[in-house]
Amino acid sequence: MNVQVTHAHLPQPVLPSCPVQKLLRGQKAIVTGASSGIGRAIALALGNAGADVVINYVAGEDKAEEACDQIRHGGSRAIALRADVADEAQVQAMFRQTIERFGTVDILVNNAGLQQDANFEDLSLAQWNKVIGVNLTGQFLCAREAVREFKRRGVQAEISCSAGKILCISSVHEVIPWAGHVNYAASKGGVMLMMKSIAQEVAPYRIRVNSICPGAIRTPINMQAWDTPAAYDELLKLIPYKRIGEPEEIGRAAVWLCSDYADYVHGVSLFVDGGMTLYPGFETGG
Ligand code: BGC
């Protein structure tokens, strides 16, 4: 494909001087899968940093509303919007509703994701399609709508140096193979090159695209890996830093990556994993 780039050369940006607590003041964010876990923590962190936030959810309206209340309590606006990210029409409706309510979208956090684990020979096509549908196709559909809106609006210098930010929540399993989780690892490996390819294509429009790759974070998705002392000890063998991560730590990384403090950070997978990707098996041998 021959991609036509018709942008004029944009000036060097004026880098932010705003207080670090309100790094995202005036920005509008959509966080997918934000009623629990990492998505919820990211949504609260963005709200705390001054962004107005759409809490996307597919189930658990009460939890989504509760997260909205917390954000409003901190002084930002928040709305809960139900949409299945794997469904094109629902994603498009969510973006339309966001733009109606908030005027635009400055930040998309592509967080919605799930696991459906099985030994490979037992992995059903339904489990494969479900995980690829939400974790990879869902990120594609949301990112495409975001890029359309960012290009339509362009840079508003008083809001941000960039025309928009996409933050994909990937996983250490975009590089660590994972037996028994082939569908999940394939989806995250796909997110890696999707993110980088989008980043390459939209950079001239001053749209920033990055990923966070969490390691083991204390959320419901991996509860069996940390909720008993024996399981936790096993887990620590995989983590050089010798502790599990907390969802708020991903929230903080997300605020920074979505802010103008990270304006020159583009196309990057930021591992927030306590060193899980450092081949911990080699700590004592090799
Ligand atoms: C998975 C978790 C797992 C972690 C580290 C994440 O992407 O969702 O279940 O604990 O990777 O293996």
Express each pLDDT in 65-114 by its tens digit. 999 999 999 999 999 999 999 999 999 999 999 999 999 999 999 999 99
Tell whether pTM > 0.85. Answer: yes
**Count of the separate structural domains present in the chain:** 1
Does 7 map to a domain? no
Does 12 map to a domain? no
Does 262 map to a domain? yes
Which pLDDT belongs to residue 1? 56
* Cα distance between residue 67 and residue 186, in whole Å: 31
Express each pLDDT in 248-266 by its tens digit. 999 999 999 999 999 999 9
* Cα distance between residue 73 and residue 12, in whole Å: 36
Express each pLDDT in 150-184 by its tens digit. 999 999 999 999 999 999 999 999 999 999 999 99
Burial of 90 (C-beta count, 10 Å sphere; 0-12/13-18/19+): middle
Does 11 map to a domain? no
- Residues 76, 202, 157, 148, CA torsion sign: negative
Q: What are phi and psi of 146, to 5 degrees?
A: -65, -45
3-state secondary structure of 281: helix
Does 153 map to a domain? yes
Ligand 1 contact via 222 beta carbon (within 6 Å)? yes
Residue 217's domain spans which residues? Answer: 20-276
Express each pLDDT in 52-64 by its tens digit. 999 999 999 999 9
Does 285 map to a domain? no
Residue located nearest, by CA, to atom 3 of ligand 1: 216
- Per-residue DSSP letters for 31-71? ETT-SSHHHHHHHHHHHHTT-EEEEEESS-HHHHHHHHHHH
Ligand 1 contact via 175 beta carbon (within 6 Å)? no
Q: To test the ligand 1 pocket, which listed residue (213, 222, 227, 246) has its Cβ within 8 A of the most ligand atoms?
A: 222
The DSSP code for 9 is: P
Residue 171 alpha carbon to ligand 1 centre in Å: 7
Residue 140 alpha carbon to ligand 1 centre in Å: 21
Residue located nearest, by CA, to atom 10 of ligand 1: 216
pLDDT at position 25 over 90: yes
Q: Compute the 3-state secondary structure of the chain and give helix, strand, coil in percent, each to the nearest 5.
A: 45, 15, 40
Express each pLDDT in 213-237 by its tens digit. 999 999 999 999 999 999 999 999 9
Which pLDDT belongs to residue 6? 58
Q: What are phi and psi of 31, to 5 degrees?
A: -115, 120
CB atoms within 10 A of CB 224: 9
Residue 225 alpha carbon to ligand 1 centre in Å: 9
- 98 is written with which tokens? 């966001």
- 255 is written with which tokens? 């605020």
Does 50 map to a domain? yes
pLDDT category of residue 137 using cuts at 50, 70 and 90: very high
Q: What are phi and psi of 53, to 5 degrees?
A: -130, 135
Q: What CATH number is given to the structural domain containing 164? A: 3.40.50.720
Q: What are phi and psi of 36, to 5 degrees?
A: -155, 170
Does 284 map to a domain? no
